[in-house]
Amino acid sequence: MLEKGFNFKIGDYVLKGQIDRIDPHPDGGVEIIDYKTGNIPKDDRRMDKDQLLIYQMAVEEVLQKKVDSLSYYYLDI
C-alpha cells in the first residue's frame, strides 16, 4: 500500500495520518516504511521515530495486521 490514510481513536482523541508505504510479509505481517527528505537535524529524528510507533498502532488497530518491522529512510536530496 502507498500513501495509506488512517483515522483511529485513543481515549478522547482521534488521530489522523498517512503512512508512506506498507509492504506485506509472507507470514501475513507487514513492514511500515516512512520516508523523510531533506536535511533533518538529529534532534528531530527522535520525534520522527516516535511517529513510526503511532503508525504501528494505527495499522494494528485499523487494518488488523501484525507489524513485523518499522523502517525509516532519510533521503538527502
d(CA 77, CA 57): 30
Q: Grade residue 57 by pLDDT with cuts at 50, 70 and 90.
A: very high
The neighbour count for residue 67, using CB atoms within 10 Å, is: 20
Q: Grade residue 43 by pLDDT with cuts at 50, 70 and 90.
A: low
Residue indicated by cell numbers 533533518: 40
- Average pLDDT in the chain: 88
Give me the mean pLDDT over the 54-66 stretch. 93
